[in-house]
Amino acid sequence: MISFGIAAFFLLMVIGTPIWAAMLLSGAVIILDMGLPMQAVVSNMYIAIDSWLLLAVPFFLLAGNMMTDLGLAGRLFRFIENLLGHLRGGLPATGVVTCAIFGALSGSSTATVVAVGSMLLPYMMRAGYDRRDALGVIAVSGTLGQMIPPSVYMILFATIAQLDVSKLFLAGILPGLVITVLLVATAVGLSWYGKQELRPRASGQAIWNSFLAALPALAMPGIVLGGIYSGVFTPTEAAAIAVGYVLVMSAIFEWKTFTFRRIVACFEGAVVTTTIIFIILGGATIFANALTFANIPQTFTAFMTSLPVSEHLAMGMILLLFITLGTVLDPVPILYITIPIVYPVVLALGYDPTHFAILTIACMMIAQVTPPVGMSLFALSGYFNVPIGVVMRGSLPYLGALLLSLILLWLWTGLSTVFN
């Protein structure tokens, strides 16, 4: 029945069953076949989301929605555009840097690509950039929010592997900066010989004024991360403080757009996204626990450690598994299905857990823009009403930069562990 349950999972996926339902049904089949009561299925779903740390997810998503809808994100964009917009490739570079900073504010890739895309795309189109390239840089750069703290995927990883999420946040800073630089270099390289119109250089006074205007948004990462690492508050409390901070700053500096209707829309968006994540989380937990009851992680660990290969090559095989799954699955189920299986292997190989977490997050970034089911690709396609193929083709050069970043992080352990 174990093989039947696994086969049922793939069959349900093929016929288009929602991923959470496929994992829930196939996992329940395995659990019930092992003689465990139905209560085990229900209790496992409840335990999956009964976590103080996971409470940070809806708060960070809400903060990101408020940054976008209440106006602070626009201030951030205008400051970076004044700094970089006059350079060759300055507008796509502006998009990358804005996504990096906005990702540090919201932790949500979907919120980032929509917020930055709605501001950047009109500028790039008027300057003569190809629509495909403009959408591509936004789609891939939007994933930076999963590496640069605070990151929703880091929170999920920490709950699965029972790690300190504050250490993961700290470990993601340098890799996030490295990936940002590589994406900026890709954007500038693709634009170097183009005929795009160069924007006039902003005056020093304009840059200073836009910096002062953006300061309320720029200060939030320092407040959130500074409070976490100084021990003033926990990551979950930091997420709630982020919401309060955005509300206060928006009421003061964006009072024209600070309306009850917009605030309600922010809450609705956060509730919908959180519900989707938690439903997938519950189904994935059932399936992962069923595999654990069937001793599949133990068997897989014994198999991997018995292979006559180095630990680095074994890690390469695990990363290849992540990337392959990313072409057909969303990052959340990938995390909850695979980490319980491969994490014991990683520990047995002597790999640093923090380094593995960063490599995993890098793979999840790639999964978000890997055809045919990349979440960021569909978010942009749906929001701007363009064919998904256009976004996919534009994202390919930047996807190559993400793959290069993954290889660099894999080979250079110090990038992930320098602060630990």
- The model's pLDDT over 174-207, given as tens digits with 9 standing for 90+, comes to 888 899 989 988 888 887 766 666 677 778 888 8
Same domain, 256 and 126: yes
Residue 55 inside a domain? The answer is yes
Same domain, 30 and 70: no
Residues ≥6 apart with Cβ < 8 Å to 419:
170, 171, 173, 174
Same domain, 177 and 293: yes
Once rounded to an integer, what is the mean pLDDT over residues 366-389? 76
Give the model's pLDDT for residue 5: 64
Residue 367: pLDDT over 80: yes
Averaged pLDDT score across all residues of the chain: 79
Domain of residue 371 covers: 51-417
Same domain, 250 and 363: yes
Residue 103 inside a domain? The answer is yes
Percent of the chain predicted with pLDDT > 90: 2
Name the DSSP letter for residue 142: G
Give the model's pLDDT for residue 404: 92
Cis, bond preceding 122 (omega within 30 deg of 0): no
Once rounded to an integer, what is the mean pLDDT over residues 41-58? 73
Integer Cα distance of 368 and 208 in angstroms: 35
Same domain, 285 and 339: yes
Residue 43 inside a domain? The answer is no
Per-residue DSSP letters for 80-139?
HHHHHTTSTTHHHHHHHHHHHHHHHHH--HHHHHHHHHHHHHHHHHHTT--HHHHHHHHH
Residue 75 inside a domain? The answer is yes
pLDDT in tens, 77-109: 788 878 777 777 777 888 888 888 777 666 566
Residue 83 inside a domain? The answer is yes
Give the model's pLDDT for residue 194: 63
Residue 45 inside a domain? The answer is no
Residue 236: pLDDT over 70: yes
The structure tokens listed for 19 are 């991923």
Residue 268: pLDDT over 70: yes
Residues ≥6 apart with Cβ < 8 Å to 98:
76, 77, 80, 116, 119, 120
Per-residue DSSP letters for 9-62?
HHHHHHTT--HHHHHHHHHHHHHHHTT--HHHHHHHHHHHH--TGGGHHHHHHH
Same domain, 251 and 168: yes
Same domain, 138 and 236: yes
Neighbouring CB atoms inside 10 A of 321's CB total 15
Residue 41 inside a domain? The answer is no
Residue 374: pLDDT over 80: no
Same domain, 165 and 109: yes
Give the model's pLDDT for residue 197: 63
- pTM for the complete prediction? 0.80
Same domain, 30 and 165: no
Give the model's pLDDT for residue 60: 80
Same domain, 68 and 31: no
Same domain, 187 and 306: yes
Same domain, 32 and 86: no
Residue 44 inside a domain? The answer is no
pLDDT in tens, 302-356: 776 676 767 778 888 888 888 888 877 778 788 888 888 888 888 887 888 888 9
Domain total of the chain:
2
